[in-house]
Chains A and B, each alone.
Chain A
Amino acid sequence: MFELLDQIFVLLKHSLVGFLPLWMQPVASVLVSVVVIICLFPALFALTTVLERKGLGRIQNRIGPNRTGPFGILQPVADGIKSLTKEDIVPSSADGVVHFLAPIVLVVAVFMGFAVLPMGRNMALVEMDAGLLFFFAMGASTELSVFMAGWSSRNKYSLLGAMRAVAQMISYEVPLLMSSVAVVMITGSLSLGKIVEAQNHYTWGLPHWYIFTPWGLAGFLMYAIAATAETNRSPFDLPEGESELVAGYHTEYSGFKFALFFLGEYLAMFSISGLGTTLFLGGWSAPFEFLSWVPSWIWFFSKLMLSICVFIWLRGTLPRLRQDQLMNFAWKFVLPLTMLNLLVTALWRFLGPGWEQWVYCSAILALAYVAMARVGMRAEHFGPRKYRYAE
């Protein structure tokens, strides 16, 4: 019975598609999955906005929105109506075509990333051999849309925000990829389905998730930091900080286009959390062997929502990082540690199962963390101010 529940969406899709002629079935099957994703994740986005506002409120000793609907759950409906009915203001000197295309490129690129996430057993939209690479390729396209938004607004503050956002996203893309490469090294495949399958084994009831290994824990932490920076979330939200640059690269957007940027940012958060759970937290596998009767998609979405809650928690706790602090952190701390993590992962594989791999890998990583903290994050002593005059 529980296998039926586990595969219920797959079976529903097959039965639905079975009504069509044979030559249409692959297309229809993909279309049905696409429609489901397009409906499900924006609904999750709506839920997340309420969750975030209520959660942040509770962290800040206040209640969040509670007037629209019981406990404020209809707040996204109100927000949606507001965004849709607001006047769409485009500055007269703005570049019309690029201004229009920027939010579209963002949302399309982010939706494409959902195509490879395995949301349950046999529930990835497309099973690609190079699935991870596809995901990162789509993530790279979002940087282009940020730049397009900032440049086309013809507003120097938007452009400044866009430049900062692009610099931040490029800097943190390298640690993001390299912490994922460690997982690929151990699994031996770029396919996300195989990565989850490799973690779906249990020893003494405990799962083989990669986060429970030393290199996996370090990789997960760095992946989380890089993911927070990639999606411009607090504490890395300088490009869109309201107190810094009005609204950064989406200053000149109003109404529905702003809603699209908002949607794109949250969807990027979902997809990158989804990838993080797939790579490090075991995707759709259950935490304990005796719990594997619970449907796999429930585990995936619970882990996803848990990651979102951690994102909200971080947002409520940490102050914003300055641009130079952000960049220093990326290049002088996270990147060297990620490269060391690759070496440690190789050492793990090389030493083979036993106590040696645990002890040596943990020791190297702990030592490196302390050393990098002292060396890489040393406070900069700025000398007397240097002035640079125009020649």
Chain B
Amino acid sequence: MCYPRSHRRDLRPTDEDLSVGTLGRGHPAFVGMQALERERLPMSFAFTLFAAITVAGGLAAVLLKNTVHCALALTVAFAGLALLFLDLDAQFAGFAQILVYIGAVAILVVFAILLTRGSETPKDGVFSKNWFAGLVIAAGVFAVLGWAVLASAYALPGPGGAPTATPTVTVAEIGQALISRYVLPLEIVALLLTAALIGAVIVAMDEKERAR
């Protein structure tokens, strides 16, 4: 993606595409997978690059010795994910990923490392003794996720057989969906965050004040 898609007039969604109502099944980001699957394109250069960045960041996050370096490599993995979202034209998801993950979660992870003793280099190296069990579990998780992704891509309905342009999901549509269809998850997440905030305040509060 070396230039924003809005410059390409032939890729802009037409009114017909938007009226099909593609907020049907699945996460808005996976709607792009439908188009890719229909067109059976080889993986584009952009996708390969972003995937490489994400995988490299993830690998570095587990293989580096210095924990803060690992946290920064994790930030690179987040950035790679955000670029993948943007490649799929999910603007809101991509920017929210940067804003929330890189802007807040990465900082949180780094603070947590600094305020505990995780910032010291581990003496026995980074590889654990139970690496075989870890490998089995990782393979299992990968298999489940891969099955879920491939199954959902084939199962999504699409209009006719002709490849359609990727419909862009605007922020307004996401907002509408959050308030109408997904209002319960929204409220539960709000409640969870409030509970977390109150918990944080209590944990950080002065001991004598809490005892009062």
Q: A–B direct touch, CB within 8 Å, in complex?
A: yes
Question: Interface on A for B, CB 8 Å cutoff?
Answer: 26-27, 29-30, 95, 97-98, 126-130, 133-134, 136-141, 143-144, 147-148, 151, 159, 163, 166, 170, 173, 188-190, 386
The reply to whether A143 and B103 form a contact with Cβ atoms under 8 Å apart is yes
Q: Is B22 an interface residue (CB 8 A)?
A: no
The reply to whether A136 and B4 form a contact with Cβ atoms under 8 Å apart is no
| Number of A-B contacts defined by CB within 8 Å | 81
The reply to whether B171 and A26 form a contact with Cβ atoms under 8 Å apart is no
The A contact surface, by secondary structure, is: helix
Chain B residue contacts of A137, Cβ below 8 A: 95-96, 98-99, 102-103
The reply to whether A144 and B75 form a contact with Cβ atoms under 8 Å apart is yes
The reply to whether A126 and B6 form a contact with Cβ atoms under 8 Å apart is yes
Once the chains are docked, how many angstroms separate the CA of A137 from the CA of B106?
Answer: 13
The reply to whether A26 and B98 form a contact with Cβ atoms under 8 Å apart is no
Task: Specify which of A95, A126, A133, A386 is in contact with B95 (CB 8 Å cutoff).
Answer: A133
Task: Specify which of A140, A163, A386 is in contact with B208 (CB 8 Å cutoff).
Answer: A386
Q: A98-B69, A133-B96 are in contact. Are A140 and B103 (CB under 8 A)?
A: yes
The reply to whether A30 and B3 form a contact with Cβ atoms under 8 Å apart is yes
The reply to whether A26 and B7 form a contact with Cβ atoms under 8 Å apart is yes
Q: A26-B3, A129-B91, A129-B171 are in contact. Are A170 and B107 (CB under 8 A)?
A: yes
Chain A residue contacts of B96, Cβ below 8 A: 133, 137
- Min C-beta distance of B78 to chain A, whole Å: 10
Q: Is B36 an interface residue (CB 8 A)?
A: no
Instruction: Please classify how large the interface on chain B is, using the bins under 10, 10 to 19, 20 to 34, 35 or more.
Output: 20 to 34
The reply to whether A141 and B98 form a contact with Cβ atoms under 8 Å apart is yes
- Min C-beta distance of B24 to chain A, whole Å: 21
Which residue in chain A gives the minimum CB-CB distance to B102?
A: A141
Q: A130-B95, A143-B103 are in contact. Are A151 and B170 (CB under 8 A)?
A: no
Once the chains are docked, how many angstroms separate the CA of A186 from the CA of B67?
Answer: 45
Which residue in chain A gives the minimum CB-CB distance to B101?
A: A140
The reply to whether B99 and A140 form a contact with Cβ atoms under 8 Å apart is yes
Q: Is B129 an interface residue (CB 8 A)?
A: no
- Min C-beta distance of A204 to chain B, whole Å: 32
The B contact surface, by secondary structure, is: helix
Which residues of chain B in 90-120 are interfacial with respect to chain A, using CB atoms and an 8 Å cutoff?
Answer: 91-92, 95-96, 98-99, 102-104, 106-107, 110-111, 114
A-B contact pairs, 24 of them (CB 8 A): A26-B8, A30-B7, A98-B68, A126-B4, A127-B6, A129-B91, A129-B168, A130-B95, A130-B171, A133-B171, A140-B99, A143-B103, A144-B75, A144-B103, A144-B107, A147-B107, A147-B110, A151-B68, A151-B114, A166-B107, A188-B172, A190-B171, A386-B206, A386-B208
Question: Interface on B for A, CB 8 Å cutoff?
Answer: 2-4, 6-8, 66, 68-69, 72, 75, 91-92, 95-96, 98-99, 102-104, 106-107, 110-111, 114, 168, 170-172, 206, 208
Chain B residue contacts of A128, Cβ below 8 A: 4, 6, 91
The 9 lowest CB-CB distance pairs between A and B, nearest first, are A140-B103, A137-B98, A133-B95, A137-B99, A26-B7, A130-B91, A137-B95, A26-B3, A140-B99
- Min C-beta distance of B20 to chain A, whole Å: 19
Q: A27-B2, A140-B99 are in contact. Are A98 and B92 (CB under 8 A)?
A: no
The reply to whether B170 and A129 form a contact with Cβ atoms under 8 Å apart is yes
The reply to whether A144 and B95 form a contact with Cβ atoms under 8 Å apart is no
Task: Specify which of B3, B102, B104 is in contact with A170 (CB 8 Å cutoff).
Answer: B104
Once the chains are docked, how many angstroms separate the CA of A140 from the CA of B107?
Answer: 10
Once the chains are docked, how many angstroms separate the CA of A148 from the CA of B69?
Answer: 10
- Min C-beta distance of A49 to chain B, whole Å: 28
- Min C-beta distance of B86 to chain A, whole Å: 10
The reply to whether B106 and A144 form a contact with Cβ atoms under 8 Å apart is yes
